[in-house]
Structure 1
Amino acid sequence: MAVHLTPVAHSRVQRFVASTPGALGLRFGVTRTGCSGWGHVTDLAREQREDDTVFEQDGVRIYVDADSLALVDGTEIDFGKQGLSETFTFRNPNAAAECGCGESFTTDADKA
Structure 2
Amino acid sequence: MFDTLPPGRSGRGAVAGFAILMAICGAPLHPAFAAADAAKGEIIAKRWCAACHVTAPDQTTANTEAPSFASIAARTTSAASLKAFLTDPHPRMPNMSLTTDEIADIVAYLLSQRRP
The alignment's TM-score, normalised by the length of structure 2, stands at 0.25
Q: Which has the higher contact order (CA 8 A, sep 6+)?
A: 2
- Normalization by structure 1: what TM-score? 0.25
Structure richer in strand, relative to its length:
1
From the CA coordinates, give the structure whose radius of gyration is larger. Answer: 2
